[in-house]
A and B are shown apart, each in its own frame.
Chain A
Amino acid sequence: MLINTLFLFLLELLPLFLFSALVVSVVSLSPFKSALIIRSYLIGFGLGLLLITAVDYISMAFDGRGLELFMFSISFIQVFSFTLYLYLGSPHRHAKHLIAVVMILITMTTSVNFLSYFTVLWQSQGASQALLLGAIIGAGFSASLAVLLYFFVMLIEKYMPLISLFITGVFLTGQLANKTNLLAQIGLIDGEVFWSTEAIFSEQTVVGHVLRSLVGYEATPIHWQVYTYIFVLLILSLILIYKKPQLMSAIPKGEVSK
């Protein structure tokens, strides 16, 4: 039970913790107020609670394929919103809404998985102590990694401006690429494995989980996963390069030199 809860944190909540670190670094380099982050998480969590009640009906839609289509669509909207944010730039009047959309959706989907698991486990007899311990260790580990990531990104930002935006883009690309597996699961696309690096670097280790959460590492990716990853990352990189002067000029004075 303790190990199960720890794995739950690594699989489900670690991406949210890491994304939080990236978002804080992105927001610190924009004219947005940090209250935007807190409001977005609260809305996302609230939507997650509502979504739990509807998951059963969504999963039955489209001949049992509803949940997979829904999760893929959510990930697609996240990437699209972030791409639009890069294109429009942070001074645009809708820019903060776009970042908020990404945060809300990630929080919503993470909450659903996490709360479902917690509810099931809490109902099991004698599970509460192990659950609590696992939650404390998992939360501590995830939070530590997130803090390290934040300071790492802010340090590199001094020498490579806009790196926080690029790493956030990589994170969202990885999330979308991993969601293409869901389309193979419901038979919409081919599920043939492209390559296997399981023997070299297993995704079932702690480091593998962290890499999976941060950059979407997959030891046995399917073709569509690789194509999606390359295509989306290419688009985001091109926009970042094209819009670099505009994005640089929007950074509040003194932030990059901190």
Chain B
Amino acid sequence: MVARVNSFACKALLLCLAAMAPEYMADELVSYTIKLENHLFFPSRLEVPRNTKFKLIIENKDSSLEEFDSFDLNREKVLFPGRKVTLYIGPLSEGEYDFFGEYNRSTATGVIVAVSKQTLEKKTEEVTNAH
């Protein structure tokens, strides 16, 4: 009886997960990419618009395992060597959100900065003009 109930529970769980509308899996979300190389994140500082959900793609170019971890963002993801992973983050209110590589905390660190769209556009314009 217990085995049957547990089996029912597993099926119910799968149905619930399938029924959840994965609206945030849509391709309309802006995506940003961070690379992990030699136990360093590039870029180590990423500016994103506030109050906006986005995708963060992390590519591990090292040959060793790493774990992307962030208490501020409540995100934790194993980064297998040579692989890319996708995390959904946000919406974030204005501020700075630290992240780090759990296996190399002294080197693999970074910050995501949520700013207003105007500030972001102004900075993008400044960079374009500088080039």
Spell out A's residues near B (CB within 8 Å): 3-4, 55-56, 59, 64, 67, 69, 73, 76-77, 80-81, 84, 94, 97-98, 101, 116-117, 120-121, 123, 181-193, 203-204, 218-220, 222
Contacts and interface: CB of A to CB of B under 8 A. Distances in A.
A117 B78 CA distance: 11
Given A101-B6, A192-B91, 6 more contacts: A77-B9, A84-B6, A94-B1, A186-B88, A188-B24, A193-B93
Contact of A187 (B17, B22, B72, B91): B22
A185 B77 contact: yes
B86 interface: yes
B32 interface: no
Interface size bracket, B side: 35 or more
Contacts of A218: 74
Looking at chain A's contact residues, the main secondary structure is: helix
A116 B9 contact: no
B2 A98 contact: yes
A203 B71 contact: yes
Given A117-B102, A181-B74, A191 B2 contact: no
A220 B91 contact: no
Given A77-B9, A116-B65, A222-B74, A191 B53 contact: yes
B5 interface: yes
B24 A220 contact: no
B85 interface: yes
A69 B24 contact: no
A187 B88 contact: yes
B9 A80 contact: yes
Contacts of B64: 120, 123
Contacts of A67: 78
The 3 tightest CB contacts between A and B, nearest first, are A187-B88, A187-B24, A94-B2
